[in-house]
């Protein structure tokens, strides 16, 4: 009989996070080692109680005030997804595959809600920077020509005044009036030029920053979109594991009926699985074997064989170790 795989995920890694940001990520990182240790010690129920207590009553609000709060909210979302993943993993090790599937579905739903919140928060920022880039682009294009024009006029005025003062250039009455008018207008031109020189670097910096902001917003979207994809994959995997086992049990029962065996059902299937100890031992490490036995006990809570094997593992023994029978006492010899 082909043993069914169980929903045991690989060891969970700590969530990367910026200092003093995601509360849920900090919670996950702080509690993960202890929960993993409980699972190694086969304290599955204690681990379940612990992880259930870590889950927030509701999804934390997504604060989209600015890029900083958005990043903090994303860190919190990462922490929430990690807690969901851990919760599902512990339920899986406890044999509660259906509950693990339900949690993975909650995780996927939460990830989609976070993505919607993120897009809503980032939309006005994207619009704002699109407008800024357009306005700054127009200003730079317009001011570049005007800056050159003003600078040329002011430089020419300085040269003309210097030439007249040095008596290198003689002006008639009309020329003198024109020079005076240019001198009178010079402070206004210089003020306009100074304003351009002050504003131009700001607008150029806006043009340089706009694509950077767009990239940040795009990367943020991809990151949360990745959470959605990962959650969907976890749901699909959990569904398949549950469906495959149900299909195997159904197939087993169908064969039982065809063979005119009256006893069918999940309990009968569990008994059949336990007839071949390899179905358990080939799961690998003791922790993996215990998780599989937990699943069998969910399907058949009163199965003494599965319980005995699990108790052996908890005692540090092999699952199906043969206990030595006590030697029989020999009777007293007759004289």
Averaged pLDDT for residues 61-90: 95
Residue 19 pLDDT > 90, yes or no? no
**Cα torsion angle, 160, 162, 168, 172, sign:** positive
The answer to whether 176 touches 247, Cβ cutoff 8 Å, is no
Residue 191 vs residues 38, 149, 253: alpha-carbon distances, Å = 74, 14, 92
The pLDDT of residue 237 is 97
Summarize pLDDT for 271-286 with one digit per residue, the tens. 999 999 999 999 999 9
Residue 22 pLDDT > 50, yes or no? no
Summarize pLDDT for 129-157 with one digit per residue, the tens. 999 999 999 999 888 888 777 777 777 77
The pLDDT of residue 330 is 57
Averaged pLDDT for residues 45-58: 95
The pLDDT of residue 10 is 34
CB atoms within 10 A of CB 326: 6
Helices (H), the chain: 23-40, 44-54, 67-93, 97-165, 173-258, 266-275, 278-281, 286-299, 304-314
Summarize pLDDT for 102-124 with one digit per residue, the tens. 999 999 999 999 999 999 999 99
* Rounded distance between C-alpha atoms, residue 164 and residue 214, angstroms: 55
């Amino acid at each position: 009989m082909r043993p069914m795989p169980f929903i045991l995920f690989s060891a969970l890694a700590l969530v990367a996070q910026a200092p003093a940001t995601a509360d849920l990520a900090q919670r996950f990182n702080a509690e993960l080692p202890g929960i993993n240790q409980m699972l190694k010690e086969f304290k599955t129920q204690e681990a379940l109680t612990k992880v259930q207590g870590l889950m927030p009553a509701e999804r934390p609000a997504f604060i989209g005030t600015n890029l900083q709060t958005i990043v903090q909210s994303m860190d919190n979302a990462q922490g929430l997804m990690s807690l969901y993943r851990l919760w599902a993993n512990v339920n899986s090790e406890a044999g509660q595959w259906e509950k693990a599937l339900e949690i993975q579905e909650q995780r996927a739903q939460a990830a989609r809600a976070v993505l919607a919140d993120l897009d809503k928060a980032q939309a006005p920022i994207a619009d704002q920077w699109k407008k800024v880039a357009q306005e700054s682009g127009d200003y730079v294009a317009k001011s570049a020509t005007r800056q050159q024009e003003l600078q040329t006029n002011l430089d020419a005025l300085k040269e003309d005044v210097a030439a007249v003062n040095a008596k290198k250039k003689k002006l008639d009455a009309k020329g003198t009036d024109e020079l005076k008018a240019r001198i009178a207008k010079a402070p206004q031109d210089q003020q306009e030029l100074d304003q351009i020189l002050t504003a131009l670097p700001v607008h150029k910096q806006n043009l340089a920053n706009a694509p950077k902001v767009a990239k940040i917003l795009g990367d943020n979207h991809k990151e949360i979109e990745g959470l959605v994809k990962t959650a969907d994959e976890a749901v699909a995997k959990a569904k398949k594991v549950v469906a495959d086992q149900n299909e195997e049990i159904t197939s087993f029962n169908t064969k039982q009926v065809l063979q005119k065996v009256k006893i069918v059902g999940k309990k009968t299937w569990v008994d059949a699985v336990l007839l071949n100890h390899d179905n358990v031992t080939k799961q690998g490490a003791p922790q993996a074997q215990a998780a599989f036995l937990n699943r069998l006990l969910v399907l058949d809570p009163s199965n003494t064989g599965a319980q005995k094997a699990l108790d052996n593992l908890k005692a540090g023994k092999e699952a199906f170790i043969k206990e030595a029978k006590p030697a029989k006492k020999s009777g007293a010899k007759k004289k």
